[in-house]
Structure 1
Amino acid sequence: MTLRFANLLSELKRTDSFRELHPLSGRKGCRITYNGRELLNLTSNDYLGIGSDSELHQRFFSTITRDEIPDTFGLGSTSSRLLCGDRRIFHELEHTIARRYGFPACLFYNSGYHANIGILPSLLTRKDLILSDKLNHASIHDGIRLARADCKRFRHCDYEHLEQLLTKHRGGYENAVIVTESVFSMDGDVADLQRLVRLKEKFDCTLYLDEAHAIGLYGPGALGQAEQQDVLHHIDLLVAPFGKAPGSMGALVLCTKEIRQVLINKSRALIFTTALPPIVASWNLFVFNHMLTLQKKRDHLNHISTLLRNDLRNHGLKTKGTTNIVPVVIGDNLLTVTAARRMQELGYYILPVRPPTVPKGSSRFRLSLTADMQENDIRGIAPCLAMIINGQTTKPQEQTVP
């Protein structure tokens, strides 16, 4: 067994696929301290700067009262929700979210991963069919593997391919579920939800939507792309994780009352895990109400994301998408690893993204912009990347982090 693991690690290193943990400290807005140096953090999912907003945290902590500890602000639940780990604050959060989204019911999971591995296996049987976007998140793929249903994957955002699969296979199954993210985490592009709704209705399907990278950033109520594209009430299962823009953890699934009860009774990812601490649900409720006030931050984030994407293209670099997730596709593992290390030397905290996170041959940087960055912070990124990736020898002047 030891030899097998040694060979596995050796192969990962040989193919420049080896990964390590990177302890960070000194978090100050969009900057972190790594190896004793302050770097611009281009890897964070704290899109609105909520997770690093010390003033907002102080406002939240000031609401804590002694008589509400441990039920509302406790640091541990010590049991699963179906035993003695349930709290009123979980239900208050669920009711608030369901009411704001206009859904009949809502259920709080410990994370987006827990939700995605717990929902489909609880609802589907061998008589059902799953149709999944090929670039859906790993947690969705894991949930599909745990489900007993058949699965067909359609090419990324290729809805003609999806329609072909539905035409060919839909009639052979009792139920069919179309599964997609709204904003895709590695390409930064957006699903056409109106097109998916039309296919759902045409072929009598259920539509499952993961809004992990959209909640807080889109729509007049900051509810995500389903609200932005005006299809909110056509979504059957909407997963809203709080670990990205809301700056917290946990995930809520919006659904019918009947589905909520089925999940409570059948979802192993909910039943067999200790509930999150009550203080997390309290923070989620606090942040959810706060996100409505952040339109200026959302506008600014969109502005700097457009600037960076255009700047990358002007420097001859390959990028995709339309959101604050700005990929730079490099391809080769070793070049990606080497370029990341060089960018860190220049003051930018960037990590290489390699297979199996992305398809083979598409290693990249996933530049993740946050609303607490300014134009001056991102101005040097494109020329520095072009210098490194294109093998230039002359360093652009004044292009390191200000």
Structure 2
Amino acid sequence: MPNFDDYRSELELLNNTGMMRSLRTLGRGENGLAFVEGTPLVNLCSNDYLSFAEDKNLHAEFYSQMSEANILDGYGLGSASSRLLSGNHPAYEEAERYIGKLYGKPCLLFNSGYHANIGILPALSKKGDLILSDKLNHASIIDGLRLSDANFVRYRHLDYAHLESILEKKRHLYKRVFIVTESIFSMDGDLADLKILAEIKERFDALLYVDEAHALGTRGKNGLGLAEEQNVLEKIDLLVGTFGKAVASAGAFVCCAPVLRDYLINKSRSLIFTTALPPVIPHWIRFVFQKCVEATERRSLLEKKSNRLREAVRNLGFPMPSESNIIPVILGESDKCVSIAEKAMEDELLVLPVRPPTVPKGTSRLRISVCAKTPDPALDKLIACIQNGS
């Protein structure tokens, strides 16, 4: 029999230090509700930023188009193969054409944001190349860096003077350089300055890789992300977006030059060696992406709710790095985060604590995700809960 004592000891340590993770089963309802063991709670940690995942009318509209003729190619639940074998069904092509037209560059779909971030950089970068990555980039990007044969350096968060100093010292030593950033960062909700990054990449002859995971749908006139809002879409060499948040689906995409798209099809292992998404997913992506583009009113509502909560948290004396609908309440102590999260649950609010190692020691927080249909009374209760608990 294998000896698993070392695993048990490590799990016991996680449990004793309050760091143990477990899976929680949630049922979903409308108006931001989640059901935990049958109890309705307002979900304040959802990534359904435009509230499309809970929109029954939207789902009914989508499925109303299903017929005997299109049930397999448009609504089928199994692709049965990788895209490079027999899994590249028509719904993939339609979604990629639509998204590529919006961004003005060819589009390539991946199975998830994780697949994209561990597949793109390792395919495009080689020995003799350098990747410069913002220190607070998502774990999936970090895993992509580790899988690459290129050297990589993590520059200080949003410190573009530091980035430039690295380039001034090292650019001449490498054939290609990639600058990698998120547009909206997932823990602090703060924003990258993509205009400055575009200027830097042009000055140093680098490629700019931007992950728009948390900005897609929520920012820009058409919801295309922060690059659209900051008017630098055409200057982003590799623009990555994920469908699992505001687009209320699964999967991800990259928009890039035609030669890079072709190269990824031939070299990206996370694309080549995985079964394609079932037809219903890219078909839904194509359908709901158009709704995102048209969702001006929901974006406006999301902005108003987010502005209100950020101001309230700031008025309570907490630091507020966020400029988005991702709003951290940085309490510092893990125990305090857990205590307030438990009190919030008693007040019918689902708020989860975020603790080290996900965030640096001493910055434990409640990570609030405001969505378009988050009820205002729930935000009022949250503010009171934070005030009373801190």
Shorter chain as normaliser: what TM range? Answer: over 0.9
1:80-102 per-position Cα deviation (integer Å, ceiling 9, x unaligned) = 01111111110111111111111
1:15-164 alignment, distance < 5 Å: 15-103=17-105, 105-164=106-165
> How far apart in 1 are the matches of 2:30 and 2:289?
22
> How far apart in 2 are the matches of 1:333 and 1:14?
13
1:166-209 per-position Cα deviation (integer Å, ceiling 9, x unaligned) = 11111110000000000111100110000000100111000000
1:289-328 alignment, distance < 5 Å: 289-328=290-329
Secondary structure in 2 aligned to 1:72? helix
> How far apart in 2 are the matches of 1:257 and 1:138?
28
TM-score of the pair, normalised by structure 2: 0.97
Give the aligned residue type for 2:77.
Answer: L
Shift of 1:346: 1.6
Secondary structure in 1 aligned to 2:378? helix
**Matching residue of 1:230:** 231
> How far apart in 2 are the matches of 1:318 and 1:37?
32
Shift of 1:315: 2.0
> How far apart in 2 are the matches of 1:253 and 1:304?
30
> How far apart in 1 are the matches of 2:73 and 2:39?
41
TM-score of the pair, normalised by structure 1: 0.94
> How far apart in 1 are the matches of 2:49 and 2:101?
25
Secondary structure in 2 aligned to 1:130? strand
Shift of 1:106: 1.1
> How far apart in 1 are the matches of 2:343 and 2:188?
23
> How far apart in 2 are the matches of 1:232 and 1:113?
22
Shift of 1:27: 2.0
> How far apart in 2 are the matches of 1:376 and 1:385?
14
Higher mean Cα deviation, 32-41 or 130-139? 32-41
**Matching residue of 2:355:** 354
Runs of at least 5 residues in structure 1 that lack an aligned partner in the other structure: 391-402
1:361-376 alignment, distance < 5 Å: 361-376=362-377
Shift of 1:120: 0.4
**Matching residue of 1:329:** 330
What is the count of residue pairs matched by the alignment? 388
> How far apart in 1 are the matches of 2:28 and 2:74?
29
Shift of 1:26: 4.2
> How far apart in 2 are the matches of 1:160 and 1:318?
23
Give the aligned residue type for 2:338.
Answer: V
Shift of 1:221: 1.7
**Matching residue of 1:394:** none
Give the aligned residue type for 2:132.
Answer: L
**Matching residue of 1:260:** 261
> How far apart in 2 are the matches of 1:84 and 1:36?
42
Shift of 1:387: 1.0
Q: CA contact under 8 A between 2:347 and 2:381: conserved in structure 1?
A: no
Runs of 4+ displaced beyond 6 Å:
none
> How far apart in 2 are the matches of 1:222 and 1:386?
34
